[in-house]
Amino acid sequence: MTDAEPLGIAVLGAADIAWRRTLPAVGRCQGLRLVAVASRTPEKARTFAERFDCDAVTGYERLLAREDVQAVYIPLPNALHEEWAEAALRAGKHVLVEKSLSADGAAALKLARTARERGLAFMENFAFLHHTQHRTVADLVAEGAIGTPQLFSASFGIPRGDDGLIRYSRGLAGGALRETGCYPVRAAQLFLGADVQVIGSRLRFDADLGVDMAGSALLADAAGVTAQCDFGLDHAYRNTYAVWGSEGRIELDRAFTPPPDARPVLRLLRADHREERVLPAADQFLGAVTAFASACADPAARESHTDDAVRQAALLESVVTRDAATRPPAPDRGHAAEEGR
């Protein structure tokens, strides 16, 4: 294989996100060539293979044994991310793993070490980071358009769906934090930097499902600039962030999941000025897989992605532990019932 040849990539799991967004982007990426899709269900693998003109493989182990596969994309349920990322790295494959990789900082660090020891790319697939709208926001902040940044706030909530969906499964590591909350937490790092820490959090759980359905987290950098992150799975749809400064505010809607043909609207607000800018459309999934292909080809491009994955997992873990440490004890329902008699 020469440097000019695209890298052979395969998919572990016939997930909806792969069907709708990631694999169409892979098909347009010059640095990648889809080789195969693996599923534990032969019919699912064949359906993907027919649409995307690749091989169908039954079983993930069989796919990892293929010599024509140099990289894998893992869109499996959250609970399987660590296991199969580890297996793929040990098989010598570059890894692009769907968010959320983990809410265990030590587990993410172990995967990062394996990737570095074996000279492999390891990247968590936060596609929104590769949309050009965020560079526009960052440039405006750097130019002083809103003065000194004081607060970053972000919200991502979606309406309640069928309880049988993976996002509501405790056994598959579902829940609001890893489904939607991971986005505001990751976005906060764009504006507060790598030294951001979780200083408070609260999660709200569904007692029957056993997963968090909503939550908020407060983060801060070393200078005391804060980020307010709100998220949920039982909400009117909201998908936005804002940067609030000493002289104004920048707001961005559809911050995390804009369709590739959508032109985002940015609002710049100051005391005597209100402006709306319609920004260019961009395919953030194409940007993500292109960045992954570059990391596979260039060792220097890998380090930031690996560091990002470890830091994100540690922050999600901190959201969970901060909530557990400050949560008031659950009421004694039996005692309360006795008192009500």
C-alpha triplet 330, 331, 332: angle, nearest 5°: 115
282 burial type by CB count under 10 A (0-12 exposed, 13-18 middle, 19+ buried)? buried
Active site residue 110: no
Rounded to whole angstroms, how far apart are CA atoms 49 and 58?
A: 12
Half-sphere exposure of residue 43, counting CA atoms within 13 Å on the CB side?
0
Q: In what order do the strands lie in the sheet with 122-125?
A: 55-58, 32-39, 7-12, 71-74, 94-98, 122-125
Half-sphere exposure of residue 73, counting CA atoms within 13 Å on the CB side?
31
* Residue 203 Cα distances to 31, 178, 324, 326, angstroms: 41, 12, 9, 11
Give me the catalytic one of 44, 93, 99, 110: 99
Q: Where are the beta strands (DSSP E) in the chain?
A: 7-12, 32-39, 55-58, 71-74, 94-98, 122-125, 149-157, 197-206, 211-220, 226-232, 238-245, 248-253, 265-270, 273-278
Give catalytic residues, as residue numbers: 99
